[in-house]
Structure 1
Amino acid sequence: MTNSLHPPAQQAELHRTWVRRFRPVSDPRLRLVCFPHAGGAASFYRTWPQWLAPDVEVGAVCYPGREERIAEPCIDRMAELADRIAAALVPWLDRPLVFFGHSMGASVAHEVALRLEARFGQVVQRLIVSARAAPSHLRPTGVSGWSDEELLAHLRALGGSFSAALDHPDLRDLMLPIIRSDYRLVDGYEPYAPPLLSAPVTGYLGAEDPHVTEEDMRAWAATTRAGHTLTVLPGDHFYLMPQAARVVTEIDGLLSRH
């Protein structure tokens, strides 16, 4: 990742492309940046501002290939995706940042946090990771090479919004290439160095998650110099959907300490 910055107008456009603001705040105390899961989109976080203090601004990362960026090719390499998101977040470095990532989004958030810290010093005040094994516990799955039928069965087992959407042929045909691209990113992921963050790491996990264990989540403690906690809640890989109000309210309490 280079240290060169884009000209201001180009930087502002880059930021607008990559970050969706659901409740703009004119003078935020801090900003919460949310990273979607594989196959997910920024709108997954659209309801979150209602549970956060009014001086907290929420931004959700818009990956290429979905929603308003549907015409753009997906990015299937973690290094490229994290580099480009880090560059797009430069205009938000005037306020403290907290990152939240669900599933694949937790790894993306971690990679972006490492890049910002390496480039600017400690920037992210806290990393919140959800339903994703720590880098040391990630296991190759090869999911990106599975047949459509195998991939669909895997996605249905995860639960959440995928299950209903994949029953509609048009949505299924739209989503599968995006999901497969994201799984190529996951399958080819090699963690960035340096390995340790200066920010604390907070973890959340659904107790019935079919693919991520408590041990996987507790291993995030080895990624930071500043401490780690884990909360296990009822639910599967997408426990977050029915319990969004509870989780975001807890996050709001964490944000009040910054």
Structure 2
Amino acid sequence: MTTTSVTIEELRALIAGVLETEPEEVTDDAHFVHELDIDSLLMLEVSTRVETAYGVPENAVAASGATTLTELHAFLASKLTRETSPSPLIRPRPLSEPAARLFLLHHAGGSHLLYRGWTEHFPEDWELCLLEAPGRGNLQALPLIDDCDRLVDYFHTAIAPLLDRPFGFFGHSMGALIAYQLTRRLLRQGEPLPTWLGVSAYGAPQGEADAASSPHLMADDELRTWLRSGGGSPPQLLDNDDVWRKFAPMFRSDFKLVDTWTPPRSPEPLPVPLSVFAGVHDKLIGEDRLLAWQALTTNFRGLERYEGDHFYLMNHQQPLAAAITAAMRSAAP
């Protein structure tokens, strides 16, 4: 990776150039959207210029979630000084001796940013480990993975050294599938199992793949309409052709992973306590499929539903964290 340095004044001048304003107008903590009035097209231009100027991967700036000059500078400084290979593990509050670890897995088309701010809602002696699939965030330079088994392999390698104390998995949508398959991998290989498994907004695997819905094969307009119906995807992504073109390959790759995964036939129930979570108004998955998880565990902890759609969890961080904490503690031996 490049070790080019970056100064905040250089970034200030770059952004001011895009906005055709004076550098002093771009203050360190001014919010890009609300105070500098940077819309999606301008943000795309800022991102492109920054990525070109500093040699960082395409889409890295957008995926970073930076909303101020200070945040953008900190992100670039960390990217440009990192000498080791990027890791799929993000640990917002690293602990040397955590009482427990909770691994969080994101949805299709998403990133670890789904779980931004979650750490503050969990016990201080717990370590949250956010798993990020390649092709986004700090892993922009890596190719996308569109096969479930290969992504499970990739994550398994990353988490193996961290299974030395009680741990749990929580996955949302595609992340629920990966969490389930990771647990099956650990069981098959005789490795430590999670204390608890939480699956969110994802139906229990059926005996055969559901051919009725294959988002990765949809035409662009159809796919964007389908994503709108599920909620969670910002309008500036779905309504702006330039932004959509940058992120569409990631969506299609992730949906291909889900659509082409072959469910196991008559799988052995997991000897792991399992809880299911969902939004009351989720149009993408029915209650029968959610309750079908009961057959895939020896210890079904029930279904909890929250007000909202497929991305209900974005508005229920605190109560959901409390439910997860209680579930993991009650499941501990």
Q: Structure 1 length as normaliser, TM-score?
A: 0.89
Runs of 4+ in 1 over 4 A off after TM superposition: none
Q: CA deviation at 1:182?
A: 0.6
Structure 2 unaligned segments of length 5 or more: list them.
Answer: 1-83
Shift of 1:167: 2.7
Partner of residue 262, structure 2: 190
- For residues 128-147 of structure 1, the aligned pairs below 5 Å read 128-136=198-206, 139-140=210-211, 141-147=213-219
Which residue does the alignment assign to 1:95? 165
Deviates more, 1:160-169 or 1:245-254: 160-169
Distance 2:297 2:96 in 1: 32
2:26 aligned residue: none
Distance 2:93 2:232 in 1: 25
* Contact 2:227/2:233 (<8 A) preserved: no
Matched, 1:252 2:325: yes
Match of 2:282 in 1: 209
Query: Per the alignment, do residues 139 and 162 of structure 1 end up closer, same or farther by CA in structure 2, a change over 3 Å counting?
Result: farther
Letter in 2 for 1:139: D
* Deviation for aligned residue 1:164: 4.3
Quick check: 1:19–1:62 contact (8 Å CA) kept in 2? yes
Judge conservation of contact 2:106–2:171 (CA < 8 Å) in 1. Answer: yes
From 35, 40, 51, the counterpart of 2:121: 51
Instruction: Report what 1:159 is aligned to.
Output: 231
1:18 partner amino acid: P
How many aligned residue pairs are there?
A: 245
Shift in Å, 1:168: 3.5
Q: Which residue does 1:34 correspond to in 2?
A: 104
Q: Distance in 2 between matches of 1:82 and 1:191?
A: 14
SS in structure 1 of the partner of residue 96 of structure 2: coil
8 Å CA contact 2:236, 2:243 repeated in 1: no
Q: Give unpaired runs (5+ residues) of structure 1.
A: 1-12
- The alpha-carbon deviation at position 54 of structure 1 amounts to 0.5
3-state DSSP of counterpart to 1:136: coil
Q: Quick one: percent identity of the two aligned structures?
A: 35
Code of the residue aligned with 1:155 in structure 2: it is: L
Root-mean-square deviation (CA), in Å? 1.8
Report the residue type matching 1:82 in the other structure: V
Paired with 1:115 and 1:163, the residues of 2 have a C-alpha distance of 37
Q: State the alpha-carbon separation in 2 of the partners of residues 136 and 127 from structure 1.
A: 19
One-letter amino acid matched to 1:59 = C
* Partner residue in 2 for 1:5: none
The answer as to whether partners of 2:108 and 2:173 remain within 8 angstroms in 1 is: yes
Q: CA deviation at 1:33?
A: 0.2
**Structure with max Cα Rg:** 2
Please give the secondary structure, in 2, of the residue aligned with 1:237.
coil
Give, in whole Å, the separation in 2 of the partners of 1:160 and 1:133: 18
TM-score, scaled relative to structure 2: 0.70
Question: Residue 203 of structure 1 aligns to which amino acid in structure 2?
Answer: V
